[in-house]
Amino acid sequence: MPRYRLLIEYDGGPYSGFQAQAGQPSVQASLERAAEAFLGMPIRINAAGRTDSGVHATGQVVHFEIDRELRPQTVRDAMNAHLAPEPIAVLEAEAAAEDFHARFSAIGRRYSYRILNRRSPPALEQGRVWHVKKPLDCEAMHAAAQLLLGVHDFTTFRDAQCQAQSPIKTLDLALVRQAGEEIVLEFAARSFLHRQVRSMTGSLVEVGSGRWSAGQLKAALDAADRTRCGQVAPAQGLYLTGVDY
């Protein structure tokens, strides 16, 4: 059966997460309804990552199979027509090899986290950034983030409900930069533990606020103890920005 790969963006605010859940709105359920509406057949969507409730995406990748050959542009446009007015958009569609899998073929995932660092609350970006009033030291956060790079036991930054077989992960990128009134954190790895990015972000904010030193962040990492994690950053500032294949 023909297989199609889609690049998706969405506002995660209205959804209980990507994964379909009985009785709860989800990005997956909305995509499957849209696909079924124009194809006239049940469709199963597979995604590169299952984002949590409130988490956004600018570069989510999904795939599905259908029973006929269609132009990729037709798939993209038909999906978008049936998704309206939901805050989900198909940016690109293309035919995929029969062995392509959005999740299992991925060799890397990229996330960014947006912090609005000013006294005044967001008006236009409500639900899309974490508002932190206290001034943060971006340079200190970036320096501390470098201590997270490489292969580590990330148990400290692993949610208690994480189903990954091992807490050992390799973090390839940890960047903290200033963008006007925003502080943006960027992370890249082959895969992440459940809520790892939000946990690392919250702990780096502890450094930026002066409550922790870089050494305390490293000690928390080395402890491999979830109770040593700092605050967990809220979902609304997190974005899945890309998947590498």
Helix H, strand E, coil C: the string for 186-220 is EEEECCCCCCHHHHHHHHHHHHHCCCCCHHHHHHH
Domain of 209? 108-244
Q: Are 130 and 114 within 8 A, CB to CB?
A: yes
Query: Is the same domain home to 84 and 62?
Result: yes
- 52 is a catalytic site residue: yes
Do 78 and 126 lie in a common domain?
no
Supply the pTM of this predicted model.
Answer: 0.96
Q: Which pLDDT does position 144 carry in this prediction? A: 98
Last residue of a domain, one of 67, 96, 125: 96
The pLDDT tens digits along the chain (245 residues) read 899 999 999 999 999 999 999 999 999 999 999 999 999 999 999 999 999 999 999 999 999 999 999 999 999 999 999 999 999 999 999 999 999 999 999 999 999 999 999 999 999 999 999 999 999 999 999 999 999 999 999 999 999 889 899 999 999 999 999 999 999 999 999 999 999 999 999 999 999 999 999 999 999 999 999 999 999 999 999 999 999 99
Indicate whether 102 belongs to any domain: no
- Of 11, 52, 99, 153, catalytic: 52
Structure tokens at 105: 């073929």
pLDDT of residue 206: 98
- Cis before residue 87, ω within 30 degrees of 0? no
Provide the CATH number for the domain around residue 181: 3.30.70.660
Last residue of a domain, one of 63, 96, 129: 96
**141 in the same domain as 201:** yes
Question: At 28, which helix (H) or strand (E)?
Answer: helix 27-39
3-state secondary structure of 67: coil
- 179 domain-assigned: yes
Report the pLDDT value the prediction gives residue 1, as an integer from 0 to 100.
Answer: 86
CATH number at residue 21: 3.30.70.580
Same domain, 160 and 221: yes
- What is the number of structural domains in the chain? 2
Does residue 101 belong to any structural domain of this protein? no
Instruction: Note whether residue 103 is domain-resident.
Output: no
Domain end (from 96, 119, 149):
96
In a domain, residue 133? The reply is yes
Amino acid at 177: R
